[in-house]
Amino acid sequence: MRQSRQLEICVDSTDGLACAGQGGADRVELCAALGLGGLTPSAGLMSVAAGTGLPCHAMIRPAPGDFVLRPGTLDAMLGDIAAAQSFGLAGIVIGVLTPDGDLDLRAMSRLIAAAGDMQVTVHRAFDLCRDQFAALEQVIDLGVARVLTSGGAATALDGIERIAALCERADGRIEIMAGSGVDIGSAGCLLAAGVDALHGSCSVVDATQQDCTGIGIEARNVTCPDKVASLRKYCQEWRATA
C-alpha cells in the first residue's frame, strides 16, 4: 500500500488554526492575508501556532503581487525565516522567480540555507515557471521537501494532466502537493493522478463576523473543521481502497 497521502490546510488566523487541528489536518501552512495569496504570518500567530503541536509551515512572502525580488525583499525574507526558527516551527514555504520566469536559484539557495533543519516547501510561484519540469529538477537538486502546484492552471483540477506528469517525473524524489480549488469533489481525481498530498483552505464565510460592510470590510472566510474532517477521511478511505 502506498504511503499515506497527507492533507495540508492553509490558515491565516488563530481560529482557523484551531479549526484545522480540530478537523484533523496533517500539516498547516501558516499565512497572513489568504485573500492576497498568502503573506508572512505575524510573530503572534507564529507563537500561537508553535503551541498547538501541529506541524506548522510559515509562508515567507513579505508583500503581495508577483514573486520577483524588490530592494530589501531578500533581507526581509531571511529575517522572517529567523523568526519562524525562533518559534520552533516545522518548516517554511518559499518561492522566488526571475523576471524571465525561472527560479531565482541564488536567492532560493540563500533562503534554504537559512532554513537549516526546517522543511522547505516551494509554493505556487512554481506554477509561473516557464518550464515546470526543469524547475522540478532544480528544486530537487536544492533539497526541497515538496512542491505545491496546480499544474500551472487556475485550479488543480484544470491542471491535472500536468500534475500527473510532474508526479511521474518526480518518481518519489520530492513530494508533489496539489493545491488551488481542492475540495471533496476534486480530491479523488487528484489522488489518482499520483500526488503525495492535498492542500486547501476548507473555508466558509464566517457567519459570526460583525457587519463591517459600511466601512468597506467584507466578511472573511474561516476554516471549517467539518470540511477538513471530511476531506481527511476521504484521503484515508481512498488510500485504503486504492
Look at residue 220 in the predicted model and tell me its pLDDT: 86
CA distance 82 to 202: 29
How large is the angle between the packed helices 73-86 and 43-50, nearest 10 degrees? 30
List, for residues 63-116, the tens digit of each pLDDT value: 999 999 999 999 999 999 999 999 999 999 999 999 999 999 999 999 999 999
* Average pLDDT score over the chain: 94
Q: Domains plus CATH for the chain? A: 6-241 (3.20.20.380)
215 pLDDT above the threshold of 60: yes
Element (H, E) at 221: strand 221-223
Per-position DSSP letters for 138-203, written without gaps between them: HHHHHT-SEEEE-TTSSSTTTTHHHHHHHHHHHTTSSEEEEESS--HHHHHHHHHTT-SEEEE--E
List, for residues 147-193, the tens digit of each pLDDT value: 999 999 999 999 999 999 999 999 999 999 999 999 999 999 999 99
Helices (H), the chain: 14-23, 43-50, 73-86, 105-115, 132-142, 160-170, 184-192, 225-241
**Which cell goes with 38?**
498568502
Of 219 and 181, the one with more pLDDT? 181
Q: Yes or no: say if 74 and 62 are a contact pair by the CB < 8 Å rule.
A: no
Look at residue 55 in the predicted model and tell me its pLDDT: 97
Task: Return the percentage of the chain with pLDDT > 90, whole number.
Answer: 87
List, for residues 9-49, the tens digit of each pLDDT value: 999 999 999 999 999 999 999 999 999 999 999 999 999 99
CA distance 167 to 176: 6
Nearest 5°: phi and psi at 161? -65, -45
Look at residue 236 in the predicted model and tell me its pLDDT: 86
- CA 80 to chain centroid: 16
120 pLDDT above the threshold of 70: yes
